[in-house]
Every structure is written in C-alpha cells, then in structure tokens.
Structure 1
Amino acid sequence: MLDKNALQQLRQLKTHIIDTKDQGEGEVRGSQRRFGFVRLDDKRDVFLAPDDMQRVFPGDRVKITVHTDDKGKFKAELEKLIDSPLDCFTGRYIVRGQGHFVEPDLPRFNKLLFIPPSQRKKCAEGDLLYCQVAQHPFKDGKSQVKVLENIGRPDQAGIEGKYTQRKFKLPRDWPASCGITDDAYLDGREDLRELPFVTIDAAETRDLDDALWAQGNENGWTLKVAVADPGAFIGPGTPLDLAAKQRASSVYLPGFNQPMMPNSVSQGACSLLANEDRAAMVCTLQISHDGDISDIQFSEALIHSQAKLSYNDVHAHIHDEMDLGYPSLKDLYAASQALNRYRREHHLVMPEQPDYHLQLNEQRKIESIVKVERNDAHRLVEECMLAANRSVAEWLGDTPALFISHAGLREDRLDNVRKVIAKELPELIDSDISSLADYKALIKACDASSSSLPLRSIFARMLQPGTVSIEPKPHFGLGLARYTTFTSPLRKYSDLIVQRCIRAKLRGETAQHIDEDTANALQYALRNGRQASKQMEQWLQYQYLATNTSDTVYRARIAHVNGGGFSVELEDSGISGFVEARTIPGKLSFDADTLRLFNEHSNYQLEQIVNVKVSELDDFQRKLMFILA
C-alpha cells in the first residue's frame, strides 16, 4: 500500500497534469462532411473527428482538451457536454434497412437521428415531421427522438407552407379577445377627408398602409403621406397588441401569408380602403424644387381615400398613356423626381433589383415565375415613403423611439477595402471609410469610376447587416445620419411603436419605454420571418426547376464569390444556386480583396454573366448545384 506521502504526490501530479492541459470551452460547428469543429471562446477553431462529431450536435457547448499534432494543427478531445440547445426541430422520415430515422432540417447537420418503434406512429418514408430530442448522443454516440407531429406527406397541396410555419415556429393562432375599440378615435382629429388621397399598390394588395397626395406651389410641392393608424384602436399591452408584438411583422409565404394582425384589422378596419373614412397619421412636407425637405409636420387625421390605383396604371398615367383623372398624380411624380435627385446628390441611392412573382397552381406549386421590373410608379411611392421616414427620424429628435441603423463596412473587411481603394481609387487612400461622410464619397466614386471591377458590388458584400436600434445611428446604406420607419404599421410592429412615439410627442405625453431586449426580440423575429419566406420560396423554386431537363442551359449572374466557388442567380427567374470551384477545369485562386476566382485561363467576378446547367438538386434540403455550360 502507498503511504500518505506517496498518495499526496500522486494527487499533486494529477493536478499538475490537469493544470498543464490545453483545455477550453466552445461551440460545436458542423461542416458539409462528417467531421466538425469546436469554436473556442478564445476564437480558435479546433478540428473534431467524425467519431466525436457523432456524439454531439452543432450548436452544443462543450469542454474539450486541445491536442496539437506535428504540423501544429489542433484536434479536439471531448471532455464534457455543458449545454445542448437543440430541443424541437423539423425533418424528414427516412428508412435505412431495418432502421427508422429522422433527417433533421438543420444547417450543417449531417446525421440521422433514431426513431424508436414506439414513436413511429404509422409514419411513412418521406413524411415531414416535428420532433423532439429524447436522448442526447454524448454518452455513447446514440441518439433518439420523440415524434411530436406528423406534418404531412410531401405531395400534399400546400404542405410547404404548413411545414415552414412549424419549422420557424410562426405563431398560428390569435387570442380569443383581439378586437378593436369603437369610434372614439374620430374625436379631435384633423379632418382631411376632402383631400383627394389615393393609394398606389399591387393590384392584389388589401392591407393598404399608405395613401398619398401632393400639390404644387411657388416653392415646390406640398406632400402629404397618410399612414394607417392602428394605434388609434390598439392599446399597448392589449391581447391584440401582444399578439402583433410576438409576430413582429407580416410574413409573406408564397400562397400562405401570415399577417401581423388579423385580416379583419389589417385588410378591413385599419386598411386605407377606397371610399372609406379612416384614421391616419399624416406627415406633411414642403418639398423644394431641388428636392430638399422643409417644414416637417405630423398630425392625427381622418382621411377618405378616393381610389386604389395599381403601379402599372399610375405609370401609364404619368406618361400620358392613360388618364386616371387624378391631377395630384403628376405633382406626386414631379415631387418624387426632385426627391430622388436630391438623394443622389446628398445621400445614397441603392441599385434597383427586379422582383420575381411566383404564380401558383391549385396544388400551391409554382406554375410560372414572372420577372417584374420596377417602373416609375414604384419609384414614386418609394421616394415618398423614404421622405416621410427620414423626416420622422429628424422630427422625433431626442424622443425615445426605435431606429433603423446600418453600421457600414465590417471591421474585418476594412483592410480588403483599403487595398482595393489603393489600386482603383487612389485619390481616396487617406479617407476614413468608417465615417459616414467618407463612405458616401467612396460609393459616389465607385459609381463614377471607369474601373473594370464592379466596385460597388464588391463593397456591398463587405457591409454589416442593418439592425433595429433604440438610439439614432447612421444608416450607411442610405447615406443618412439617422433613419427609422413608420409607414408600415399594419405589417411591422416596429413601425407601430414609432407611430406611438409620434403620437406621444404630438400630445406632449411620455413616449412608450423601449429597451434593448425589445429591440433585440424584434430584430430576431424579423430575421426569422425573412428566413422563413426565403426558404419556402427556394423549396418551391427548386421543385419548379426540377421539371426541366438536366440539359437545360440557363443564363445567370454571379452574385457572391468565395474560395469554394460562386453563387449565381438565374436571370429569368431569380433562382439561386452554387457553382463549386472544383468543377471548373484548372486550379482557381481566390482574391479576397476583389472577390474573384481566377487562373491564367479564366476569371469569375461579381456581376459577370455565365451559362449554367443543374448538376445536383434536392428541393427539401434547398440544395442546388450548377456546373458551367
């Protein structure tokens, strides 16, 4: 037997070994293959072998020991599972021999999870499921799930919408009590029912947020933007308000829309329908001949829209191709052109992108995709909305509110941008591209440059995403010192909050308190809704593409480039897919500064047009791979 001194020495040795181990905590990250990585808190990425990857899920927080091989590469040894956030998820029922599994619909999740016999519930291969993790695999590499719901067969009409709603946990039900108040809102409002307001929107739109009117004067134009005022009916903290806050925005899924408010409100009582008296928040602006905005006023008003007009008809009217009988349309168009000229000179105008309309059949599958180019009526409405929104950001001053900020270039890409500037725009080499003024100068120089590189597109791929903020911050994308929105309160909860801030200032009351947690929750819900819409569109688009032959050649535009290849968008449908660099003859080098792939024979650059064919397509996994034709 060991004496006490020997035992003490062994304990000390064990402690020393543990203390000298390179250990850390971090998050598991998956890959396209069976292996993975652990991103440690100290920012190191440590390789996780396939066998160890079977014991964890992407997103798990783990403790590891880091081993370094002869080449200096890190390899992880799993020590402890600290936290596993994966709980409920959607997926597809898979049968492999005698085994029954669910294939989780999760990013970079490359494993099947076992469904025990008691949980199979007459599911058939290919069924779409909603499941819950019942057994984590950390102990022995074996996992199990519980089937919570069989969402349906993949060939069912409208299954994509039902599945997407479940996957992204979009709220489906309204509270029992979500009515609105009576006509007391009419009292004390400015009566503008005699002004010939009109709404301009897509022909099928029913949730009409805004109506417009303008009139010329010796100093330019008076512009009035009337915005639906649901806050006149819906008080903070009421059941309907809480339901709208949870949704954060209307989510427009193809053939399966989910409104932020019930249709009885968003398409009825609060919608600025033609020939109906409606409560509105009205922004009145004086627009000068050169497009400058002055004399900003707001009022709670009562309006009476005289017509619901479509973009195409308004475009035809302002170009004298038809007469709609509303003289204010010409004044609206003239004012919008002046506003646009001013923005181009003093702020920034984002490049236009076409829209793609998905026409669905009775099975809610895509029948055809129609490319919709923007016309002058779209631009008229956009300029009026931008004018009202940037004006309210100024008018609110220091009043508590929500703002939309855009922080400009990513810090980790500033060196890349400076290298491009040094070569292509040397006159700006000493500019501070992290400041709003110098960033605006950079983008204007890009537009005026004769460089062979698509400079503006390159820099656009290096921008930070926009965010919701409780403080006014610069919006680099628009070139504005501060910006917010209030013109879509039937569709965006943040706009409803801003309207309440406007009302509080008009009445001399204390504005609704908005904290960082509220802003973050809204930001998350907005991104979740956009992602849901995008993924469902891709699902339907890939189904549609699968009806063509594999030899079909498509004309496409390069939209993104990285070291592994480039994504393209098909010009006639807007469908996106990826071309892997390894499918292109000859080894390609990647230039991280100019975002291009090249060798001595070929060059692939943003905005370049290429011809492609489908090489691999999985509509459920939203995987579309192209090869160059």
Structure 2
Amino acid sequence: MLKLDSLNQLKQLKQDIKASRNLCIGTVKGSAYKFGFVTLDTNRDVYLPPDEMERVLPGDRVEVEVIKDAKNKKVAKLERLIESNTQFFCGKYIEKGKAAFVEPDIQGMCRWFFIPPQKRKKAKAKDLVVCKVTQHPFKSGKAQASIVELIGTDQDIGIESLYASKKHRLETSWSKVEQEQADAISEEQIAGLSEGRKNYCELPFVTIDSSSTKDIDDALYAEKAEQGWYIYIAIADPCAMIDAGSAIEKSLIKRASSVYFPGQTIAMLPEKLGSDICSLVEGKPRLAKVVKATVSETGDIESYELEQALIQSHKKLSYEVVGSFIDQGEALDECSSDIQESLKHLKTIADKRSEFRNKHNLIQKDRQEFYLELNDQGKIAEIKQKVFSSAHRIVEEAMVAANCCIAELISKSKLPGIYISHKGIRADRLESLDKVLQENIPEYKEDSLASLDSFVELSKQLSSNDELTRYQLLISRQLEKSQLSLEPAPHFGMGLQQYCNFTSPLRKASDFLVHRQLDAIAANNESYINEAQIEALSENSSKAKSAVYDVEQWLKCQYLAKNKQTLNATIHRVFSSGFQVRLAETGIEGFVSTKEMEGKYSFNQDLLCITNKEQSFQLDQAVQVKLKQIDWSRKQIQFELV
C-alpha cells in the first residue's frame, strides 16, 4: 500500500495537472450540421467537432478542455457532463428495417434516438410522438429513448396545435382542484365584494374588442372637463375573485398567458372566470380597477387616481363598428347619445395622446400585420392583412396611458413591480453602430445610443428625414428584446423612463400579478412578487410564444408548398450567409442563401448588407423571389431570387 504522504503527493499531482489544463464550463449549442459549439460562461463560443457533438445534446451543461486541433484552431474537448435538462422531447417515428428511431424536434440537434423494441408503444412510421430520454449519449455516443405518448400524424385535423402543445409542454386542461375552486366562485359573490368600492355602474362604459372576444379585460368612458378631458379606464379585477396562493393562481402563473393558436385558444383562466364572472361582459356589474386620468388639451396626463370600483359595460362594441362610426361617420343607432359622445371624446383623447407621445416619447411605425383564416380542415384558406382603424388607436392609447400611470404609482411606492424594460441597442453592437452613425451623420453626437433622452432625440431625427431611413433601419434590427424586471428601468422602444403592463389580467399572468401588487400597496402589505416569479413568467411566456410561432410556421409551410409563382418581397434581415425576406402580400418570411447565388459575396456587419462586384442587398430592399424548397423537419422556408 502507498504511504499517506505518497497518496497526498499523487492527489496534488493530479490537481496540478488539472489546473494546468484550459478547463471551462459552458452550455452546448447545436447547429444545422453535425458540429456544434459550447457557449462558455465567459460568453465565448468554442467549436465542438462532430465526434464530440455526438456525445451531447443541445442545452447540456458541460466541462470542456479548450485545445488546438491539427489546423491550430481552438476546439472544445468534452471532459464531463454536468447536467442535461433534456428529459422529454417530441419527434417523428422512423423505421429503418427492423430498427426504429425518433427524429427529435429539438433546435440544433442533428441525430436520431434509437427506440428499443419494447419501448415503441405500437407506433407506426411517421407517427408524431412524445419520448423520454432513457440513455444519454455522453458515455457511448449512442442515445436511446422510450415512447411515452402517441400524438397523431401529419394528416390529422388540428395536429399542428396539438403537437405544439405537447412539444412545449403547455397546460391544456384543469386539475380537479382547480376546477372545483372555479366552480365555487359565483356571480352572487360580486355584490359582497363590491362593498367599499366606488360604484360606476351608471357611467356608460363600453368595451371595444374583436366581435368574438369573451375574455374582456377593459372598458372605457370619457367626458369633457373644463380644461381637457377625463378618461376612465376600467380593467377587470380577477384578483378580487381568486384567492391568493390558490391552485388557480398557481396554475395561471405557470401558464403565463392565454395562448392564441390560429383557430384555437388555450385560456389562462377557467372559462367560467375568464369569459364570464371576471370578464367585463355587457349588462352585468363587474369588479374592476379604474384609472381615472385628467388629460390636458396638449395630451399630457396632468393627474390620475386608481380606484377599486364596480362597473357595468353598457355596450359590447367591435373594432369594426367603432371604426365605421369614427372614421366613416356611419350611424350608431344601437348606442345611446351618451355612448356616442364618449366615443368622440375617446377619439380626441387618442389623437392628443398620440401627438404628445410623438413629441415627447416614441411611437413605432405601424408594420403590416396579417392573420390566418383557416378552412374546415384546419389549414390556411387565406392570409389577410389586418386593418387598423381609429378604434384600435383609441384602445391602444388608453391602455398605454393606464400602464404609464400604474408604472409610476408602483415606482413611487418603492415596492418591486413587474416592469417591462427595453435597453435599446444590443451591447455587442453598440460600439460599431455608434461608429457608423458618427461617420455618416454629421450632427450625430457620440454615445447618443446609450442614454434614453439622446436615443429618443436621434430616433426622431432619423424618422423625419427620408435620406436617413437606412440608419433608422440599422437601429431597429439591432435592438435588445424587452424583458421583465422588478425595478423600474427605461423602455427605449417607447421612449419612456418606466413602463409596465396592467391592462390584461385575464390573459397575462404578469398583469394579474401587477394587480396583486397594487392590492398590497393599497393595504400597506409586503411585496407580493419576487425574482423567482419574474424568471418563471419570462420562461413560460417564451414557451407560449414559441408554440404559437411553431403552429403558424407549420401552416405557412403547407400553404406555400405548391406555390410556383414569382412573389414580391422586401429584405427584412441580412446575415453573412444570405438574407431573410418578407412577402408583401402575406407577411410570410423565408431565407435566401448566397450559396445559391452567382458570385462571391462579402458581408458588412456594420451596415448589414452583402455585396459583390455586380450587386448588393440591404435592409428594406425590394426583391422578387420564388419558393426553392421547404425543410419540413425544421419548418423553414427557403426562397431563391428571380
């Protein structure tokens, strides 16, 4: 046996050898090919060769040694697997002779999982399935899984939404406890809960939404003041009906939001609550929080107060009806003169608020939006452009006004909030974009992108000068994503010092929790929200958005699959390998690869354009394309130039 000092020396030697190696920890990132990358905790990507990528899954946490290969290129060599979060996944069942596999629907994964005979659950070729990982490939390079659920086939009606719900693990039903709690909440409770609230049932509130909407969050009323106007913005108050910490509340936080698939909705709240008892339905008294604001002749919000109230919607109106009344002067005989007068005031307030925000903040230019109209088979029958009228502007400006007031109110309380912050330009692009603007705009001041006030001033300057549109586009394509935060922070996209969402508590868990926090502030209680809730909301909201994107993209691929026409498009984004285009008539997006084009192209990352000796391509440039192919496994559309 080795002596104790020899063992210690050996242990120390091993530690010294390990310390001398370039060992790092990071997260595996896949690609469209066999190789991958490891994003180190220092935010640096290191190439992971195919033979190493074969042993891991995208998202795995690993320790790697950074070494140099035969070509003196830095590469990652796997040392150990720290953690793998891929436990379940969806995919397509594939048979190869007597062997069976599943092609996983996981971004960045280019491998199949072997399915042992006893784990196949009688699946048939091309079935869509849910699988559980039973053997991670780290030790052997071979991955195995078992099928736990058969979802259906590509041909099933509604398969797109069902599959996306399974893939992103969305909650689509209610537990027995949740349903029992919902059933226990009744219309009769509203009268008791309304005690001590301001009674606004006589005010002619109206709701303006899509004609099919049942989960109605907001109602509006406005009247003339001596100087300016009073606007009453009533927001449904589900927190008054749903107990804090109840199973329903836990469920809605986990769901994060209602999910609006084409032709189908997964509601955040049980139907009885979200579409009836808590919804501001016409003709019924409902609990609400009302922001009463005084708007000046110039559109400024001079004062506001938040009231716990009881209101009653006097009329459910659609965007189309209100738009026709305001914009075309069509008769609104179904509504009283008081409602009609209120709508006119709401239109004037919206105009004044829009002018004020254009002058002092930022209003993003309206982008063409489209919606999918499905046939009886659940496939796209037609893609139509959304029509925006004064009715949409009325609601939008009212909601922004209410949200601004609530953000300020919570900020003054010193308790945490659920703010929506937007940091402006991505940190990794700030320096180069600043340099481009200095070189091309004589009056540009250095570092104007870094502070809110200078960013707002610059954006106004660029948007008001057609010759500078290109630089406005450069800015718009290099912005950070908005995010939730507990502390107030600027929203560069709106040009505001702080902002939060309070106006959709029946559809968004973040708004619901803002209502809970407002109740805590009113009662002088401790904060109801915390960092863990923010992180969970962000993650679950992202899942819901990804699910909707997957469904829409799948349907668009089907819709475009047999199209042989020449299509008008504009360049939406530019990359080193090509550019993304957006079709003018449908809004469908796809990729044009420079590999399929004649000549060699160079990419200018600062100006976001690609060029060769004969031509160049840049943002917002009009092009004509036709469908080249569809990658069905990734639901990606590839175009080619005409």
TM-score range normalised by the length of the shorter chain = over 0.9
Distance between the aligned counterparts of 1:435 and 1:109, measured in 2?
40
Answer yes or no: is 1:395 the counterpart of 2:403.
no
Aligned to 2:556: 541
Distance between the aligned counterparts of 1:3 and 1:346, measured in 2?
78
Distance between the aligned counterparts of 2:627 and 2:261, measured in 1?
25
* One of 387, 394, 418 as aligned partner of 2:434: 418
Q: Give the stretch that moved more between structures: 144-153 or 564-573.
A: 564-573
1:219-248 deviations in Å (ceiling 9; x for gaps): 111111111111121121112111111111
What secondary structure is seen at the aligned counterpart in 1 of 2:90?
A: strand
Aligned to 1:344: 358
Aligned to 1:445: 461
Indicate conservation of the 8 Å contact 2:434/2:446, yes or no.
Answer: no
* One of 534, 543, 559 as aligned partner of 1:528: 543
Aligned to 1:261: 269
Assess, with a 3 A threshold, how the Cα gap between structure 1 residues 261 and 11 changes in structure 2: closer, same or farther: closer
Indicate conservation of the 8 Å contact 2:517/2:529, yes or no.
Answer: no
* Structure-to-structure mapping, 1:89-168, within 5 angstroms: 89-168=89-168
- Aligned residue type for 2:524: E
Q: How many residues align?
A: 625
What secondary structure is seen at the aligned counterpart in 2 of 1:471?
A: coil
> With structure 2 as the length reference, what TM-score do the two structures score?
0.93
Q: CA deviation at 1:10?
A: 9.5
Aligned to 1:514: 529
- Aligned residue type for 2:114: F
* Structure-to-structure mapping, 1:359-398, within 5 angstroms: 359-398=373-412
Distance between the aligned counterparts of 1:556 and 1:126, measured in 2?
34
* One of 287, 300, 307 as aligned partner of 2:308: 300
* Structure-to-structure mapping, 1:518-597, within 5 angstroms: 518-546=533-561, 548-549=562-563, 551-597=564-610
Answer yes or no: is 1:474 the counterpart of 2:490.
yes
Aligned to 1:218: 226
Assess, with a 3 A threshold, how the Cα gap between structure 1 residues 491 and 43 changes in structure 2: closer, same or farther: closer
Q: CA deviation at 1:130?
A: 0.5
- Aligned residue type for 1:228: A
Q: Give the stretch that moved more between structures: 164-173 or 446-455.
A: 446-455
What secondary structure is seen at the aligned counterpart in 2 of 1:323?
A: coil
> With structure 1 as the length reference, what TM-score do the two structures score?
0.95
Aligned to 2:618: 605
CA RMSD of aligned residues (A): 2.3
Distance between the aligned counterparts of 2:70 and 2:150, measured in 1?
50
Q: Give the stretch that moved more between structures: 407-416 or 418-427.
A: 418-427
1:417-451 deviations in Å (ceiling 9; x for gaps): 21221133231233442111111112111112343
Structure 1 segments of 4+ aligned residues over 4 angstroms from their partners: 2-19
1:344-395 deviations in Å (ceiling 9; x for gaps): 0000001112321211122211111111132221111101110111111122
Which 5+ residue runs of structure 1 have no aligned equivalent?
none
- Aligned residue type for 2:425: L
Q: CA deviation at 1:320?
A: 4.1
Answer yes or no: is 1:493 the counterpart of 2:509.
yes
Distance between the aligned counterparts of 1:166 and 1:450, measured in 2?
47
Assess, with a 3 A threshold, how the Cα gap between structure 1 residues 13 and 316 changes in structure 2: closer, same or farther: closer
Q: CA deviation at 1:580?
A: 1.0
- Aligned residue type for 2:218: D
Q: Give the stretch that moved more between structures: 165-174 or 495-504.
A: 495-504
What secondary structure is seen at the aligned counterpart in 2 of 1:613?
A: strand
What secondary structure is seen at the aligned counterpart in 2 of 1:212?
A: strand
Q: CA deviation at 1:70?
A: 5.8
- Aligned residue type for 1:67: I
Distance between the aligned counterparts of 1:240 and 1:155, measured in 2?
35
Q: CA deviation at 1:452?
A: 5.5
Q: Give the stretch that moved more between structures: 583-592 or 124-133.
A: 583-592
Q: CA deviation at 1:616?
A: 1.5
Distance between the aligned counterparts of 2:590 and 2:619, measured in 1?
14
Percentage of identical aligned residues: 40
Aligned to 1:615: 628
Which 5+ residue runs of structure 2 have no aligned equivalent?
none
Assess, with a 3 A threshold, how the Cα gap between structure 1 residues 275 and 36 changes in structure 2: closer, same or farther: same
Aligned to 1:245: 253
Aligned to 1:358: 372
